Amino acid sequence: MRKEIRFSGNGGQGVILASVILGTAAALYEKIGDKQGKLIALNIVSLSAFVEVTKLVSEDSLEKAVLQAAPKGTEDFNMEAVKIGRELAKTLK
């Protein structure tokens, strides 16, 4: 079964809001992203889930981009968020 997700908005605001809402729903209401009582990077979880579903970029490209953008010392934290996003998306397929 084919699924399509379309995010749109003026200046990217709709895309950002959709990402925040998806991440919040996953972390708070589906109990995804709660690791040792600490909510992880919701933006990375939702971005990773989006990439897993759409295959817009490769997993390797996403990981490299996240590591490049992640503040020093948060690399492992953000890579865990990428993993959780992928796992979440696989439950949707």
51-93: pLDDT as tens digits: 888 888 999 999 999 999 988 988 998 898 899 889 888 887 5
Q: Is residue 19, in this structure, part of any structural domain at all?
A: yes
Length, in residues, of the chain: 93
Question: Residue 69 is encoded by which pair of tokens?
Answer: 């953008």
Q: Residue 33: what residue type?
A: G
pLDDT tens digit string along 1-30? Answer: 555 656 666 666 666 677 677 666 665 555
In a domain, 2, yes or no: no
Q: Report whether 90 contacts 49 (CB < 8 A).
A: no
Instruction: Take residue 19 and report the two structure tokens written for it.
Output: 């990402």
- Residue 8 vs residue 31, higher pLDDT: 8
Classify residue 63: in a domain, yes or no.
Answer: yes
Q: Which pLDDT band holds residue 46 (cuts at 50, 70, 90)? A: confident
Give domain status of residue 86, yes or no.
Answer: yes
Please give the model's pTM, rounded to 2 decimal places: 0.63
**Domain tally, the chain:** 1
Residue 80 contacts residue 27 (beta carbons within 8 Å) = no
Residue at 5 is within a domain: no
Residue 29 lies in domain = 10-90
3 part of a folded domain: no
